[in-house]
Amino acid sequence: MSDMENHPKIIVIAFPKSGTKSMNKVFTSLGYKVFDFFQIPAFWESFEAYGKKKISFSEMAKRVWEDNKYDVLIEPAGLYWHEMSQIWPEAKFIHLYRDVESWSSSLENFCDILCDLPKGSQLEHFIFSPMGKMMSPTAHEALRRGLQPYVKYISGYPCYLDENVTSETNEVWHAMTPRKHRMFHADVMMNAPKNRTLFNYSPTHGWPKLREFLGSELIGSAKLGESDEFPHENKNVNTADFAKTMFDVSTEEYDAKVRNEIIEFMKKNGFECKKIVT
């Protein structure tokens, strides 16, 4: 049975590169506890257990989101929004839409850059090489078994989590990329709960549509909701820099474990390192 008191209040249905990071900034600015892409690795065991049908979706939801009292879910809700709509009948959904041409171009460019990150880069060390497993077995397993399947099923790309894939082989038939867009949004329009979904929303629409749909009880302070200034994130972010931050935000327990494993590995090899506090 789902925990109605602790279940998320707002769920964003979206493909990557559709404004998800802007929505994160919006709800973070309103004081909500947000679950997004960077939190996935810390919970990879639950995602894998559900993916392999070892636990039910409601069991996974309780472990990952309800027990940790997340208010807003962004990624990986694009993969699980249908199940979420069934177990959380009071949650509201925001469907992000971006035109097919700009979305296709943005996703392809993003994935191509990540596929061709230089050898020796942070991701290459953690994911592909034996060195990565020795530096932090925790991060190595989380990225391979948590993020790799998610990226495959949400975007249809092997992307940067397969050492044998380059920008030349990541998308073999580029003409097929728009089909992913049509299939995803057709599914949402047909199956998302009509009475509690804001369809075809874009961060470019700003506050008015959000304020009208969510209402004052969810949007927070009236001043925040009435402001003409709308938070935007990741508009022109460097893709390589995005990849470097993959290990900076997850959960305190996961981050501490990964950090300590790296520190111990470096010590064994004659190097001293510590977390920089800013």
pLDDT tens readout for residues 207-242: 888 888 988 666 655 444 455 577 776 555 555 565
For the chain, what's the residue count?
Answer: 278
What mean pLDDT do residues 128-145 have?
77
- Rounded distance, CA 267 to CA 88, Å? 47
Q: How confident is the model at residue 1 (pLDDT cuts 50, 70, 90)?
A: very low
Query: CB of 47 within 8 A of CB of 150?
Result: yes
Q: Which of 35-44, 96-105, 184-193, 233-242 has the lowest mean pLDDT?
A: 233-242
Phi, psi of 13 (to 5 degrees): -95, 115
- Rounded distance, CA 246 to CA 265, Å? 20
pLDDT per residue over 249-258, tens digit each?
A: 667 888 888 8
How would CATH label the architecture of 10-99+175-226? 3-Layer(aba) Sandwich (3.40)
Structure tokens at 8: 């998320």
- Rounded distance, CA 210 to CA 215, Å? 8
- Rounded distance, CA 45 to CA 78, Å? 19
Please name which of 56, 59, 61, 55 lies closest in space to residue 73, comparing C-alpha atoms: 61
Specify the pLDDT at position 171. 78
Give this prediction's pTM: 0.84
Query: CB of 162 within 8 A of CB of 116?
Result: no
- Rounded distance, CA 180 to CA 62, Å? 30
Query: CB of 146 within 8 A of CB of 44?
Result: yes
> To the nearest whole number, what is the mean pLDDT of the chain?
83
- Rounded distance, CA 46 to CA 64, Å? 7
Location of each CATH 3.40.50.300 domain in the chain:
10-99+175-226
What mean pLDDT do residues 108-135 have?
71
Percent of the chain with pLDDT over 70: 78
Q: Which of 127-136, 142-151, 224-233 has the lowest mean pLDDT?
A: 224-233
Residues 6+ apart with CB under 8 A from 17: 98, 103, 106, 107, 110
Specify the pLDDT at position 197. 98
- Rounded distance, CA 119 to CA 248, Å? 21
- Rounded distance, CA 125 to CA 51, Å? 26
Amino acid at 45: E
Q: How confident is the model at residue 46 (pLDDT cuts 50, 70, 90)?
A: very high
Phi, psi of 269 (to 5 degrees): -105, 15
Specify the pLDDT at position 225. 45
Q: Which strands, in side-by-side order, build the sheet including 72-73?
A: 34-35, 72-73, 10-13, 92-96, 197-201
Going through the chain in order, the beta strands assigned E by DSSP cover 10-13, 34-35, 72-73, 92-96, 197-201
